[in-house]
Structure 1
Amino acid sequence: MNESQIDLAHAVALGSIGDEDRRAVHDVLDSGDAALRADFDSEVQQTREALTVFASASATPPPATLRTRLLAAIAADQTPAAATPHHPPR
């Protein structure tokens, strides 16, 4: 695999590919080169595994008050049902 294909595999693993990159992925996977496809798939899998390990190692639990604060913010943001005009179907 060349450097741009490795970069493309990393983008796939991150889930951050656009239309142009998506076409490039199809080109790699449809190339008919079984070794290239296997290398590409392996690079995507290894990158996903590395990202999982990294995310697990750096994860921290949320503050205990987060749920209460979120629910209060949601309640404050909601418009009461009586204030919303209702138009019956015609």
Structure 2
Amino acid sequence: MKTKDRRREFRLSAEDEQLITEAAALAGVSFTGFVLDEALARAREIVESHRTITLPEDAYERFLEALDAPPERNPALVELAKRAKRFHRVS
């Protein structure tokens, strides 16, 4: 289990507090547990949606074909490579 050594505070209306309190009670968890569980679930959903690209099958096939195709010559990129003094690998 992760050590919980961070603290956050936020303000909310009385109505919002009452609603969350009721929902937490119905779920059988504490107010903090409810808010944290829901916030983490939503955070994971948002992060995952930005890390993952879902394509329809036909678009996926076109994407793979494009990856397998030889690259087109890019004179501007060739010129840039000639002028570059040094390339650094970024990890």
Question: Normalized against structure 2, the TM-score is what?
Answer: 0.31
Per chain length, whose mean CA-contact separation is higher, i.e. which structure has more relative contact order (CA < 8 Å, sep 6+)?
A: 1
- Of structures 1 and 2, the larger Rg is shown by 2
Structure number with higher helix proportion: 1
Question: Normalized against structure 1, the TM-score is what?
Answer: 0.32
